[in-house]
Amino acid sequence: MMEEKRHTSLHYEKELQAIKDGIIYLGALTETAIRKAMKSLSDRDTELARRVIRDDDEIDRLDTDLEERCIKILALRQPTAIDLRFITTAIKITGHLERIGDMAVNIAEKVMLLNEEPQLKPYIDLPRMADLVGGMIKDSLDSFVKSDLEQAEKVRRVEQVIDDLNEQIFRELLTFMMEDSKNIHRALLVMQVSKNMERIADHAKGIADMVTYMVTGECVRHQTCSMLE
Amino acid sequence: MESNTIIKLKDVNFYYGQSRALTDISMTFGKNKVTALIGPSGCGKSTLLRLLNRMNDLIDGTRVEGEILFEEKNIYAPDVDPVEIRRKIGMVFQKPNPFPKTIYNNIAYGPKLTGVNAGDLDTLVEQSLKQSVLWDEVKDVLNKSAMNLSGGQQQRLCIARALAMKPDVLLMDEPTSALDPISTAKIEELIEELKKDYTIIIVTHNMQQAARISDETAFFYIGNLIEYNKTEKIFTKPEVKQTEDYITGRFG
């Protein structure tokens, strides 16, 4: 967007830039929330998990603030073409980021329960999943900032890997549950952590899909990677 | 010419003296469509509009090249009567310009000249005022001066006056730029209604108006047709960067 020529109205230009900056900041907060939630799991740090839950208020506040600013632009500036696509994309992205914040809270809540019992198993795939998901959020937001279709496409591809990892974790935890029914509670909690990660990846893909819409004007939300190729 | 085309321009150039105001314009206007012509001041959109019913003939030193086909006949052919063209292709201007006559005579004036008999005039006046959604407001004051009407009513009267000539096409040159928002909304609503029976070509500086009421939008810049597309496409994902820069306000 910003490689574009400037608007005749500099105030308008600043309003759009402020929304972009706000989304980047919101993205940084959600990335941190996920990282902390996963660290609280691997370090068994209940206090850190509590902090993730507390910090979500700021994510919610920013989400509301950004949405209000986008609505104000729609009402007062009546954006068209790339500006219209930018604003609709921004509204959707803030929604995705806010939900990602909620998923981090869900994970933190599960961690607090898990920390009350001995660790079920060493975590191998979950931290890997967390790294990939963190990368997806970063890439999706970078693709938004740079209007980079290739990067958006990369996010869509990684999402498939996350789905596979979630499946694998599910199967592994199933064996733990079958081995000993005392494992069921903890295994279910870990499964929910994994499921939340998988849903975060869906939201990152949602952001990438919106970037594609913003750049091309084409809606790809309901197309799979193979359909896009 | 395709069956849904009513006007077709072929390589049209237009000159005011030595200065070229329109360059190689080729485009078609669809029947029963509203087409908006947009672009910055001086881009040639109003010049083009006036070319379509030979209003530019009235300006000395102008010259047209190329062909403008209305129902497959070149309206600039030597045997064509410009008055007859203006009857079929009516025009509404920026500022309402009623005649200083009664409301009734504003409508009846043109048809009387073309020989409509007195018996049919009452019906025609009523019909035209109904079409322009003015009838209910003026039916009891038809013999009062049109100059007493509000700006919005005067503009609808001018539309009724144009419709009374039973045109096929209605050209509108910024028809709401002198009107308040309510009168503007009424005219826009009227345009929606009129397109069932007429082809409407409108010049507007109000981009949102073009977006609201037109089916197709043409963007002009320095006498060139830059992009001509479905209105929805122009305002969500225009194909040409120059169009995007203009409609998003990145211009000048």
Query: DSSP assignment of B152-167, as one string?
Result: HHHHHHHHHHHHTT--
Chain A residues within 8 A of B249 when measuring between CB atoms: 7-9, 12
**How far are the Cα atoms of A85, A190, B42, B148 from residue A204, in angstroms, in the given order?**
18, 21, 47, 63
- Whether B219 and chain A come into contact, CB under 8 Å, resolves to no
Question: Using 50, 70 and 90 to split pLDDT, how confident is the model at A3?
Answer: low
Could you state, in order of their start, the residue ranges of all structural domains in chain A?
Answer: 10-216
Q: Does an H or E element contain B8, and which?
A: strand B5-16
Residue A147 tokens, joined: 């209007």
- Between A5, A9, A217, which is nearest B245 by CB? A5
B38 close contact with A: CB closer than 8 A? no
The answer on pLDDT for A229 being more than 70 is: no
DSSP strand pairing (B199-203 vs B169-173): parallel
What is the C-alpha separation between B197 and B177, in angstroms, rounded?
24
**Higher pLDDT pick, B56 / A99:** A99
Residues in CB range of B21: below 8 A, 6 or more apart = B14, B15, B44, B47, B223
Yes or no: say if B144 and B173 are a contact pair by the CB < 8 Å rule.
no
- Give the sheet arrangement for strand B216-221, strand by strand: B89-92, B169-173, B199-203, B34-38, B216-221, B224-230
> How many other CB atoms sit within 10 Å of the CB of residue B88?
15
Contacts of A15 in chain B (CB under 8 A): none
Q: Answer yes or no: do A8 and B250 touch at CB < 8 A.
A: yes
Q: Nearest-CA residue of chain A relative to B211?
A: A80
How many helices, marked H, and strands, marked E, lie in chain A? 7, 0
Q: What is the DSSP string of A148-189?
A: -HHHHHHHHHHHHHHHHHHHHHHHHHHHHHHH-GGGHHHHHH
CB A104 within 8 A of CB A56: yes
The C-alpha angle B53, B206, A75, rounded to 5 degrees, equals 155
**CA-based nearest residue to A77, from B38, B183, B249, B242:** B249
Sign for the pseudo-dihedral over CA of B220, B221, B226, B227:
negative
Residues of A in contact with B238 (CB under 8 A): 81
C-alpha–C-alpha distance, residues B153 and B146, integer Å:
9
pLDDT of residue A224: 64
Residues in chain A with CB shorter than 8 Å from the CB of B234 are 81
* Interface mutation vs chain B, best among A3, A77, A82, A214, most B CBs within 10 Å: A82
Q: pLDDT by residue for chain B (252 residues), tens digit each?
A: 566 999 999 999 999 999 999 999 999 999 999 999 999 999 999 999 999 999 998 899 999 999 999 999 999 999 999 999 999 999 999 999 999 999 999 999 999 998 888 889 999 999 999 999 999 999 999 999 999 999 999 999 999 999 999 999 999 999 999 889 998 999 999 999 999 999 999 999 999 999 999 999 999 999 999 999 999 999 999 999 999 999 999 876
| CA A158/CA A205 separation, integer angstroms | 9
In DSSP terms, B221 is beta-bridged to B224
Nearest neighbour of A81 by CB, restricted to B237, B251, B252: B237
Question: Which residues have a Cβ under 8 Å from the Cβ of B181 and sit 6 or more positions away?
Answer: none
**Are B235 and A81 a contacting pair at CB < 8 A?**
yes
Q: Give residue for tokens 């691997």.
A: A42
For residue A74, the model assigns a pLDDT of: 94
Of B207, B236, B243, nearest to A217 by CB-CB distance is: B236
Q: Are A220 and A167 in contact (CB under 8 A)?
A: no
pLDDT at A71 over 80: yes
Rounded to an integer, the average pLDDT of A70-77 is 94
Contact A81 B250 (CB under 8 A): no
> Of A43, A30, A12, A41, which Cα lies nearest the Cα of A134?
A30
CATH of the domain spanning A10-216: 1.20.58.220
Q: Say how many residues make up chain A.
A: 229
Give me the helices (H) in B95-230, please.
Answer: 103-113, 118-131, 135-138, 151-163, 181-194, 207-213
Q: Do B236 and A81 touch (CB under 8 A)?
A: yes
Inspect the interface and report whether the beta carbons of A80 and B247 lie closer than 8 Å. yes
Note the Cα B37 to chain centre separation in Å. Answer: 10
Contacting residues of B for A217, CB less than 8 Å apart = 236-237
User: In this complex, how many residue pairs, one in chain A and one in chain B, have their CB atoms less than 8 Å apart?
Assistant: 41
Reported confidence tier of residue A1, pLDDT bands at 50, 70, 90: very low
The residue of chain B with its CA nearest to that of A7 is: B250
The one-character DSSP state at B101 is S
- Residue A5 has a pLDDT of 82
- Chain A interface includes B185 (CB < 8 A): no
- What is the pLDDT, as a whole number, of residue B178? 87
Can you state the angle between helices A149-179 and A184-216, rounded to 10 degrees?
170
**Which chain B residues touch A81 with a CB distance below 8 Å?**
234-238, 243-244, 247-248
How are strands ordered across the β-sheet holding B19-30?
Answer: B19-30, B5-16, B62-70, B73-74
Contacts of B109 (CB under 8 A, 6+ apart): B99, B101, B161
- The answer to whether the CB atoms of B244 and A81 lie below 8 A apart is yes
Phi and psi of B132, rounded to 5°? -95, 15
| pLDDT of A2 strictly over 50 | no
Smallest CA–CA distance, residue B226 to chain A, in Å, is: 16
- B247 interfaces chain A, CB cutoff of 8 Å: yes
Measured in degrees and rounded to the nearest 5, phi and psi for residue B214 equal -100, 155
Inspect the interface and report whether the beta carbons of A80 and B250 lie closer than 8 Å.
no
- pLDDT tens for each residue of A103-154: 999 999 999 999 999 999 889 899 999 999 999 999 999 999 999 999 999 9
Across the interface, which of A7, A84, A216 has its CB nearest the CB of B250?
A: A7
At B36 the three-state DSSP class reads strand
Tokens, residue B245: 């820069």
Give the distance from CA A162 to its chain's centroid. 13
